[in-house]
Amino acid sequence: MPGMGQLITLNKGIRKIWAALLIGALLVTMAGCGGGSAKSGPDKPLVINLAGGDSGYPTPYGHYPRGPGIYKMQMIFDSLLERDE
């Protein structure tokens, strides 16, 4: 059975290990908050221009019955749901 002096030494060793792990975890966490250079200027929105006239607003829930509206709508929205190969 270890003596009292050995237990105190053991507890100090465990405290040092916990302190080192805590400091290491804190440093890793703070490194993730690094100050990468911020992008300057506003982002441009993505605009998709398809050939042909205006066949209505492309939405997956409704379309105009005239023209290629449903075809274009399916081409845009179905391609968003496909898995990359």
Length of the chain: 85
Domain ranges of the chain: 1-32, 46-85
| Mean pLDDT, range 6-13, rounded to an integer | 66
| Mean pLDDT, range 44-56, rounded to an integer | 71
Q: What is the pLDDT of residue 60?
A: 56
pLDDT tens track for 17-29: 888 999 999 988 8
Nearest partner of 71 among 43, 52, 85, 47, judged by Cα: 52
Torsion of CA 67, 70, 76, 80, to 10 degrees: 180
State how far the alpha carbon of 39 is from the alpha carbons of 43, 50, 67, in Å: 9, 30, 41
Nearest partner of 15 among 26, 23, 27, judged by Cα: 23
Whether residue 63 is predicted with pLDDT greater than 60 in this model: the reply is no
Q: What is the pLDDT of residue 54?
A: 65
Count of CB atoms within 10 A of residue 76's CB? 14
Q: The whole model's pTM is what?
A: 0.34
